[in-house]
Structure 1
């Protein structure tokens, strides 16, 4: 298949993946569904795990999922190659008592999650998605179709809006979802109906908004891909596809692992975030199953790598002054290696050399990213993972525009190329 056709096929599959993953909980479930179809066995954290080398496994913890392939020749000190990403994106999250409204409008009481570009969420049809926790302690996934909208004030009522839009985060970000009186409506009942459960059984929930529009390619020769939640489902999807492909005939001298964390957009400091214990717990259980003592586990960590994959900034043609004047990655020219002198990214010289080798093995061009000195640099799960485990880590991703918008913009070829490098990395 020609490279352009493979890239478009990958983008179409990514559109399916994003549509099936409107929340972190849905994303983890979709990863599990796809990998189980590829022969992976789902393990429960409360059960005993297999105690022999060989096999494909995964474990889901709420909105996080870790999957791995153990070679038959694995020993107590076999290292691991982790491809890390995150399942959450900036959004709005339902507050307690979420059914609100006034003046004949039904509204949803929401809180801002992460750092969304607020104006990008205006005048879009939005879904609600996440999990409902029922009276027996079980959880069910729930997602609506297009249900909500944040209507923008007409220019006739705000003549200066084009000189600068500023939204009050409390009073001006509550979406509408119907007409009537809030006393006779229940937005949770809409979610319960979609999930096929009785709304009276809901005892807790974690529900966020997502753009209802489907991801799509466009532009000259379909070079662009626009979608919600590319930060960071683009990396999650690339890792899933790469692990599926690498698992067939896997005979490397390391364990191949995909680690998808939740809550990166709010600091990662949760039981399912990169700063939490999940990855360390899974690694310890794998090595214990291979008969490792503490010294052998430390040797295995020293022989391991983590590729932290998240989106980065492409140079913007209308705002070139916000970027470094010399290092200017652009859509369609390959995945990026992310570098920061103050260790906001974990890449160092050894990581750069390794990344370039994996790209060369995959036949993929790569670019570098570094921030303009006058613009603060964001961070990723990379430095957190390196700090938690002492594991060699390199930060990478794809360049995009409109980061943290309700709908972000990527290059079609970059999406496919990232997965190709991930596969080369897994295969070793």
Structure 2
């Protein structure tokens, strides 16, 4: 397969983006750094905003959600908005508020299952911790990011000699008793809680007693890579959905002087329903649009006109056809890796796509010179959902759900296509400049 150099370069950049973002808070930090380097200025929700045509800004809420935008050269009431949404969170294992326990001489950390990960894929991996920690300060507390680059934790498999049916029945874990992660050997002069706090305190340069609260997830320290005969595939954690964040951000950064105001909105908590202040079900994007309208002098009538002329693309990864499991897919909807962006449809509105919005995205792909595909889930299988229906219903705007095809969604190690990422960036760039 002939892979253009630009596609390989974009794929490598995506892997670097993901590897720098082992938690939602790190993902937002990574986005903010790239935006800042490209001349975007940060706005605070607590301050008054001054917006001008052509200005570039971003806003962070809760440390784990971010919206970046370019104010268009033409009035938004005439053009509407061009929005692309994705999410910063991925399914996995999150530490409990008091996770450390001594289990017969071994220290292990209690976890909660976040979203719907394939739990078996977390076994025998080189795991570490990443997230944010609130540290006591003289005037209150300060939130700081932390990550461990070297393996710190492990979920060892039970030997087959004690689990003889594992290959027939599959690897299963009791979520309460069998998922705690091993941290180390307990010591007589150190309690489990102290052993847990010690490396975090050292990484942050503070006293262990000043660690107040934390939101930490286990992540795989193995870096992303290209694979395949022609290096036509990528493998990494969190392709769902940081690959979409990277594609949308790349498209925004490539947009210079758009006529319409363009936004990228990356939300937390999609994997658990989006109903939070930082999720797509919260007020973040609606608040920002209201402030955009106010900052550009639009009255209530014009605000309604803006929404009526707007278009939202919900970018979330899609299920690629797996040749080993052909029965899992709907006939005539077997989307292929490296064959183009996927338009996702569901009659029960698990996706926000309509016939009109699908046709509009097809036209964008045609404009960008890239192929596209269509996906529908098997009728006898429950269909997942996205932020698409949530944002579309709350704002009342036309919306389409799309994504790059991938294998092993919600595994700790997922795979996708190099060409598809190139195609998606091109299609989303076309959306910002239509």
> How far has the Cα of 1:76 moved from its partner?
5.4
Describe the SS at the equivalent of 1:132: strand
Which of 363, 374, 377 lines up with 1:368 in the alignment? 374
Q: Structure 1: how far apart are the matches of 2:262 and 2:65?
A: 17
Partner in structure 2 of residue 41 of structure 1: 41
Measured in 2, the distance between the counterparts of 1:160 and 1:75 equals 62
| 2:191 aligned residue | 183
Given that 2:357 and 2:400 are in contact with CA atoms closer than 8 Å, whether structure 1 keeps it comes out as: yes
Cα deviation code 1:272-315 (max 9, x no counterpart): 10000000001101110001111111110111011000011111
The answer on whether the counterparts of 1:150 and 1:176 sit within 8 Å (CA) in structure 2 is yes
Report the Cα distance in structure 2 between the residues aligned to 1:356 and 1:271, rounded to whole angstroms: 33
The answer for the alignment partner of 1:158 in structure 2 is 163
Q: CA deviation at 1:186?
A: 3.0
Q: Give how far 1:193 is off.
A: 2.4
Q: Does 1:219 align with 2:218?
A: no
| 3-state SS of 2:120 partner | helix
Deviates more, 1:52-61 or 1:31-40: 52-61
Distance 1:418 1:187 in 2: 42
Does residue 251 (structure 1) correspond to residue 258 (structure 2)? The answer is yes
Whole-angstrom CA distance in 2 between matches of 1:188 and 1:387: 44
Task: State the SS of the aligned residue for 2:382.
Answer: coil
CA distance in 2, matches of 1:251, 1:330: 32
Give the deviation of 1:208 after TM superposition: 0.9
TM-score (norm 1): 0.96
1:344 counterpart residue number: 350
Verify the 8 A CA contact 1:226 1:408 in the aligned structure 2. Answer: yes
Which digits, 9 at most, give the CA deviation of each residue in 1:333-359, with x for residues without a partner?
111000111110000011011100110
Q: Distance in 1 between matches of 2:429 and 2:316?
A: 16
**What corresponds to 2:240 in structure 1?**
231
The answer to which of 101-110 and 334-343 deviates more is: 101-110
3-state SS of paired residue (1:409)? strand
> Within 2, Cα distance between the matches of 1:298 and 1:343?
24
* TM-score normalized by the length of structure 2: 0.95
Contact 2:127-2:218 within 8 A present in 1 as well: yes
- Tell me the SS of whatever aligns to 2:332: coil
Unaligned residue ranges in structure 2 (runs of 5+): none
Q: Distance in 1 between matches of 2:77 and 2:368?
A: 29
SS at 1:137 equivalent:
strand
Distance 1:367 1:75 in 2: 31
**Separation of aligned partners in 1, 2:397 and 2:258:** 22
- Match runs of 1:244-393 below 5 Å: 244-246=253-255, 248=256, 250-252=257-259, 254-393=260-399
Return closer, same or farther for 1:424/1:172 CA change in 2, 3 Å cut-off: same
Deviation at 1:78, TM superposition (A): 4.6
Change (3 A) 1:101 1:7: farther
For residues 420 and 203 of structure 1, do their structure 2 counterparts lie closer, same or farther at Cα, with a shift above 3 Å needed? same
Deviation larger for 359-368 or 66-75: 66-75
In structure 1, runs of 5+ residues without a counterpart are none
Q: Aligned in 2, Cα 1:256/1:126: closer, same or farther, shift over 3 Å?
A: same
